[in-house]
Amino acid sequence: MVQQKPKPKTTRTPTKFDEEKKHISILPKTDKQAEYIKAIIGPSAQVVCFGPSGTGKTYVVSSIAASLYNTNKIDKIVITRPHVAVGDGIGFLKGDLREKTEPWALPVLDILEEHLGKGVVECGLKKGNIEVAPMAMMRGRSFKNAFIIVDEAQNISFDQLKMLLTRVGEGSKIILNGDVMQSDLKVTDGLTTILYGIEAIDAIRASLGPEGFRAYCKGNCIKYLWRYEYKNGLEDLKKAQVYLNWMVESKEESEAND
């Protein structure tokens, strides 16, 4: 009689997604989600997703990150987002750097735990294979074979956006998602800037001068508000907000220089 060898003990409670490191299937609910998934798993190292809240931006990207991590296709998951509270400030957070930053990353961490199990996520956080990186401490770093999730990206500036995109090292991918209609910044955010094209606006600003540029922005703001009112097009409302922000920024810059 051949004695069977005992099965090796597992270090965490198996989940339905954790049978022999299987790929985690993500089924899109809309055509846009299907496009998003295709872009993330595609060859591009940089993917930007715009969309209103509730459309699955965070869930989709976090689920794909869990799948890649579960099948050892990446070495590290990096989560970063601007520390902007909704409504009243949350005040001082006790603890070390990890304990201070993890509350901001809970939307992503909850999804990772759903797919990987709490034990795997906690172990990854302790070993540094899953990292919650504060935006302010990303400068100067470079990530290799990592999957970088930038959540709530509508609250990062254009300079911060450029800094983040240069953190992507060999074998890494960075995903930025956000809703430009929910930006809490007083200046135009980085996502809006890349959405509507900073180079073209800079050329117009230089050719028209401050007063001419503000008049140009005001005219476009009125035009898109009119379109939104009569056509009820959400994109027109977004464009009106962008031109209004640029007009306010230009006025504040002129007042600061006087």
Mean pLDDT of 222-238: 80
Nearest CA among 64, 54, 65 for reference residue 34: 64
pLDDT digits (tens, 9 = 90+) for 34-64: 999 999 999 888 888 888 888 899 999 999 9
pLDDT digits (tens, 9 = 90+) for 96-148: 666 667 777 889 999 999 999 999 999 999 999 999 988 777 888 888 999 99
Whole-number pLDDT of residue 104: 76
Cα dihedral sign, 56-57-59-64: positive
Could you give the angle at which helices 57-70 and 31-41 cross, rounded to 10 degrees?
40
The domain over range 31-182 is classified in CATH as 2.40.50.1070: no
**Residue where the block lists tokens 């135009």:** 188
- Residue 20 buriedness (CB in 10 A; 0-12 / 13-18 / 19+): exposed
Task: Read off the pTM.
Answer: 0.66
Report the C-alpha gap between 51 and 32 in whole angstroms. 10
Q: Per mean pLDDT, which range of 2-11, 12-21, 77-86 is the poorest? A: 2-11
Helical segments of 5-117, H only: 31-41, 57-70, 97-101, 106-116
pLDDT digits (tens, 9 = 90+) for 239-255: 788 888 888 888 888 88
The 76-80 sheet, strands edge to edge: 46-50, 173-178, 146-150, 76-80, 130-132
On whether the CB atoms of residues 234 and 242 are closer than 8 A, the answer is no
SS3 assignment, position 22: coil
Go through the chain and tell me how many residues it has: 258
In single-letter form, the type of residue at position 69 comes to Y
Report the C-alpha gap between 153 and 165 in whole angstroms. 12
Report the C-alpha gap between 21 and 239 in whole angstroms. 45
What's the per-residue H, E or C state across 114-148?
Answer: HHHCHHHHHHHHHHCCEEECCHHHCCCCCECCEEE
For the chain, what are the domain ranges? 31-182, 197-257
| 196 C-beta neighbours (distance < 10 Å), count | 16
**Residue where the block lists tokens 């998602």:** 177
On whether the CB atoms of residues 151 and 58 are closer than 8 A, the answer is yes
pLDDT digits (tens, 9 = 90+) for 111-122: 999 999 999 999
Report the C-alpha gap between 80 and 64 in whole angstroms. 16
Whole-number pLDDT of residue 113: 94
